[in-house]
Structure 1
Amino acid sequence: MIKKEEFSNRWGIVLASLGMAIGAGNLWRFPRLAGQYGGAFLILWIVFLLLWSIPILMAEFSIGKKYKKGVIGSFGKVAGKGFTWGGFFITICTLGIAFYYAVVTGWALRYLGLATDNFFAFITGRKTIANYLETDPAYLQNFWNSIAYESGITVVLYILAVIAGIFLLIKGIQNGLEKANKVLIPSLFGLLIIITVIALNMENGTKGLEYMFGINWNHFSNPTIWIEALSQSAWSTGAGWGLIMTISSYSRKREDVVLNTFISGFGNNTASIMAGMAILPAVFALAVNESEAISFLQSGNQALTFTIIPKLFSTVTGGAILSFIFFLAFFMAAFSSLLPMLELFISNLKDMGMTRKSAAIKTGIFCIVFGFPSAWSLDFFNNQDWVWGIGLIISGLLIIIAALKYGIKNFKKDFIDTDSDISVPISYLLITLVFNVFLAAILIYWWMSRGYSEYPWFDANGNWNVFDVYSNASVVTQWVIVIVVGIIFNKYLYNKFVKS
């Protein structure tokens, strides 16, 4: 079934691509890594943008643009009848992320509420976060614990986030997704600029930039920074998610594949750098000394976002304003990334013959039901983040294999070069895609060997350790279940999503 909907112009699809790529990770994971490794990380991160992310995004964009279907249908078209299950895996992997990412959006909304209340407390003379911290140093940690574990408020807020997303997407591509991104993305960039200006004008704020862009050549001998740079590029740009394949399926007929891909990739990196320029100067300005600033930045993703940033902002005059702006930007980033995740499922359901409204409502119900465990249990949340976060590398690998199976020369001619004013060398695609097969294997091995679980495969009693939060057994079991189901129903998937 050919989609009738499409974006009104190039900016519509560019903003949708940026909304997909620019998410919560840009505002909390990137600043931590940039603060930990400085300019050495930035160099490698840009290298992997060109080596890993751009080729995969280019393949995704061109496949979606050509076939105008959901991920299962488009992937099955290019990979062939026997590999339609690969599109099923990509879809389930991204849905697995969407379920718990809706919870992250709910958390962002809750902290926006906290920051808003703190802002009004500041201007009206009521008790602020700073006052609470004076009497209770664990105030912010306790607040985080109250919403991360068995919280009814979290459940309500993530449901509201899903409903808001579905409400927008029911309106369609132009009237829903496109209009939302025209507000969300420029506003997000504007808020990042405001935070940057405020932070740089604080005492010692410029030290954050000096640290961020300073190059320590010794870091290049550390294998961890290479993996961190690759993983940040892979997840931040959305390479392998199937999201850009979904977005491009609504593109106009003559849409430049190469130009749009590069705009999306470098636009995402620009937003990350802006976030780093906003957060690092603030951390350095508000910390007692440089070593404490670095310690803050290396304290971990959740801690940096939900406990340390509010604590830092509460220590200075005007920090309530800065905190409000930060969490408004954080919520916008999270929500703008949630929208294409929901659209991915809607697109696949539409391929089954459903109307947009019916598909959107079913998607909302599905997301609310399967997102509940992550909203209620942080352990379940962390498990899903671990399983499907690593699973994205499998998804990227499947897209690479599909392109290689089709033949790089023919793939470039039939998919990428169509309507593209800019031509990339065939050698670039061949080298990067083949090399990325080995990169994917290395990344999966490294990620699964980090040792977060005491018993990665079997527990102390010799049983398959499937229920451990971070065990490899849990990861592999869930992957295998999805792959086996996909293979069993491969013929049905092909007939329903591809052949039809």
Structure 2
Amino acid sequence: MDSVKIKEKGFASKIGFIFAAAGSAIGLGNIWRFPWQVSKYGGGAFVLVYLLMVLFLGATVMIAEIALGRVTRGSVVDAYERGGKGMKWIGLLAVAVPFFITAYYTVIGGWSTKYTLNYIFEANFAAAGAGDYFGNFITSSYFAPIMSLVFMVITIYIVAKGVDKGIEKASKFLLPTLFIMLLFLAIYALALPTKPGAQGAGAGVKYYIGSFDFKALGWNGVVAAMSQSFFSLSLGMGIMVAYGSYTGKKMDLGKSALTVVGLDTFFALVSGLIIFPTIFAIDPTLVSDASGPGLIFIVLPTLFAQMPGGQFFGFLFFLLVAFAALTSLISLLEVVSQYTIKRLNWNRKKATWVFGLILGILSMFISLSFSPVSGFMLAGKVDLLTYFDEITNQILMPIVAFGSVLTVGWLIKKSDLYQMFESSQTNISKKKWVQETWYYLTKFIAPILIAIVLIMGIYGSFQANTNPSSDFYEFSITYGVVLIGALIFVVVAALGNIYLDSKKMQDILAKAKAAKGKEGDEDYQYDPLEDVDDEVEEVSTDAENEDN
């Protein structure tokens, strides 16, 4: 008895795709990284450069990755393999990146969930010292890894329900809710009364975006804007490639990508209107700590404990953080699930729950690594969250994105890409100059900018981990171990490419597929060409010389 194929539906609507893609882009970096960079690098000057980089780098690469998924119609690994000969190893890296990001992002999602619950059941938890509470929570409490696993189970449940009934449905609820909470919190923060000795919410706005200081911007600010535009949009993670495989041919990729970019930028900008007015209305001396996890879990709880309505404000803020983490995790887990469905011929529920729980367990070990006595710190110095964050963000993501623009700009036929734009329902994408501009940005400009992001990211990390009092040994175990880890991932991906193409592996998969057929298994076999809508047609690539 032959196995029965069950169609995995793609996005049911354009708005569903936009919400899901925007949900993947909007994350913790918008809240704890972008506002701090704006305030550090010249306020409005940084915003102006950032917007330019979003257009020339962010939107360009996003359209390229969505196009790669839509043109090739396969899992992330299949997309790179079909896009160009010898590119499968990039696809394997594109699956490894979200795998490890999911593992450590879940930890932060668990932290934010715990803090959300704190503001319901333990409102005064930060009164005795938010820093001490946070330190004790992540280093000596087994509740932190449990919360990580709970957060992962919620993510698994949504992704296991499928693209249209799970991811799209959840995104249509979570994203509008995120923006409602965001706007409410911003209005509340701007209206806060000034505490004696503070400067007021207006001073916070001025500190944030009230100046155009190009001297403060400098070259470092330009590179920071370039990096932020890249990392903020979930590029180099395989997410947009996976989502692109679920889109119908009438969707306007350019317009949709620009909408996602606009939503992501709006969220980041408004996040700063929550953070800095709150700090300057309560305690301006804390502004120097206004970045990273310290901002979210130490500075802001300290402020909430001193402000009117702080319990409700804190609850809503950490619910916002948890929702932002969840929308990103949904997209990250989907990349891993999609590849597993295709490669192992598993159904969606099995693939999602098995690998989701593996990631949940891994996230518990990452959470435990913050304890100095856990034995999970690398070389006794680097916690696993920092380790995987450095490897994926500074090294692997730029490599994957470089592979994306290389595949789309140099290996896939230009005519196939242009035909994709011609089939859209809006006239702007059909204009020749629009298509030519995007194509040459993808082919020539984006690779250069991505290379700068990669090189400067590594160089910046060297600077951050080196100081006059440090010897070479101290440096080597703080960042050298990261570079070694990244190299190992690249080598493993290349070897995995060889193994997956081997006759032995192909025979194993063929036997497994035949066994399923004999058992009458109703698990579907992933085929994006059938997954989207009836109007979708396969597009040829240089690797597959088939005409529409």
Q: What TM bracket, shorter-length normalisation?
A: 0.7 to 0.9
1:444 aligns with 2:454: yes
> 1:344 is matched with which residue: 335, 347, 367?
335
Determine the structure 1 residue equivalent to 2:23. Answer: 19
Alpha-carbon shift at residue 78 of structure 1 (Å): 1.1
Alpha-carbon shift at residue 47 of structure 1 (Å): 0.9
Paired residues of 1:219 and 1:225 also in contact (CA < 8 A): no
Paired residues of 2:76 and 2:94 also in contact (CA < 8 A): yes
Q: How does 1:174-193 map to 2 (within 5 A)?
A: 174-193=164-183
In 1, distance between residues paired with 2:209 and 2:466?
A: 37
Alpha-carbon shift at residue 256 of structure 1 (Å): 1.6
Q: How does 1:120-159 map to 2 (within 5 A)?
A: 128-129=124-125, 132-133=127-128, 139-149=129-139, 151-159=141-149
Alpha-carbon shift at residue 320 of structure 1 (Å): 1.7
Q: 1:491 to 1:150 in 2, by over 3 A?
A: farther
Determine the structure 2 residue equivalent to 1:266. Answer: 262
Deviates more, 1:44-53 or 1:315-324: 315-324
Which runs of 4 or more aligned residues in structure 1 lie more than 6 Å from their structure 2 counterparts after TM superposition? 493-500
Alpha-carbon shift at residue 22 of structure 1 (Å): 0.7
Determine the structure 2 residue equivalent to 1:123. Answer: none
Determine the structure 2 residue equivalent to 1:74. Answer: 79
Alpha-carbon shift at residue 307 of structure 1 (Å): 0.1
Q: 1:284 to 1:475 in 2, by over 3 A?
A: farther
In 2, distance between residues paired with 1:75 and 1:373?
A: 32
Determine the structure 2 residue equivalent to 1:474. Answer: 484
Paired residues of 1:36 and 1:294 also in contact (CA < 8 A): no
Q: 1:345 to 1:3 in 2, by over 3 A?
A: farther
Determine the structure 1 residue equivalent to 2:271. Answer: 275
Q: 1:476 to 1:179 in 2, by over 3 A?
A: closer
* Deviation by residue 1:72-117 (Cα, 9 ceiling, x = unmatched): 111211123x221111111112212111111111111111122223
Q: How does 1:185-264 map to 2 (within 5 A)?
A: 185-202=175-192, 203=194, 204-219=200-215, 222-264=218-260
* Deviation by residue 1:453-496 (Cα, 9 ceiling, x = unmatched): 349xx98579x94x545655334433433343334335259977
Determine the structure 2 residue equivalent to 1:357. Answer: 349
* Deviation by residue 1:47-84 (Cα, 9 ceiling, x = unmatched): 1111111111101112222333221111211123x221
Alpha-carbon shift at residue 233 of structure 1 (Å): 1.2
Paired residues of 2:65 and 2:241 also in contact (CA < 8 A): yes
Determine the structure 2 residue equivalent to 1:374. Answer: 366
The code of the aligned residue for 1:14 comes to I
Determine the structure 2 residue equivalent to 1:122. Answer: none
Q: 1:420 to 1:54 in 2, by over 3 A?
A: farther
Paired residues of 2:387 and 2:482 also in contact (CA < 8 A): no
Q: 1:177 to 1:383 in 2, by over 3 A?
A: same
Q: 1:33 to 1:100 in 2, by over 3 A?
A: same
> 1:99 is matched with which residue: 96, 103, 110?
103
1:114 aligns with 2:118: yes
Scaled by the length of structure 2, the TM-score of the pair is: 0.80
Q: 1:407 to 1:182 in 2, by over 3 A?
A: closer
Paired residues of 2:25 and 2:264 also in contact (CA < 8 A): yes
Bigger-Rg structure (1/2): 2
Alpha-carbon shift at residue 44 of structure 1 (Å): 1.3
The code of the aligned residue for 1:185 comes to L
> 1:295 is matched with which residue: 288, 296, 314?
288
Q: 1:364 to 1:221 in 2, by over 3 A?
A: closer
Determine the structure 2 residue equivalent to 1:398. Answer: 403
* Deviation by residue 1:378-419 (Cα, 9 ceiling, x = unmatched): 311101111111121111111011112225733531444442
In 1, distance between residues paired with 2:338 and 2:74?
A: 7
Scaled by the length of structure 1, the TM-score of the pair is: 0.88
1:34 aligns with 2:38: yes
Q: 1:150 to 1:84 in 2, by over 3 A?
A: farther
The code of the aligned residue for 1:239 comes to L
Alpha-carbon shift at residue 35 of structure 1 (Å): 2.5
* Deviation by residue 1:235-277 (Cα, 9 ceiling, x = unmatched): 1111222111212222234222111111111111111112112
Q: 1:489 to 1:405 in 2, by over 3 A?
A: farther
CA RMSD of the aligned region, Å? 2.8
Q: 1:10 to 1:476 in 2, by over 3 A?
A: closer
Q: Which runs of 5+ in 2 are unaligned?
A: 195-199, 371-382, 510-525, 528-542
- Larger relative helix fraction: 1
* Deviation by residue 1:121-163 (Cα, 9 ceiling, x = unmatched): xxxxxxx246x33xxxxx2112211232364111111111111
Q: 1:51 to 1:182 in 2, by over 3 A?
A: same
How many residues are matched?
476
Percentage of pairs with the same residue: 23
The code of the aligned residue for 1:156 comes to I
Alpha-carbon shift at residue 332 of structure 1 (Å): 0.5
> 2:494 is matched with which residue: 484, 490, 493?
484
Q: 1:474 to 1:117 in 2, by over 3 A?
A: farther
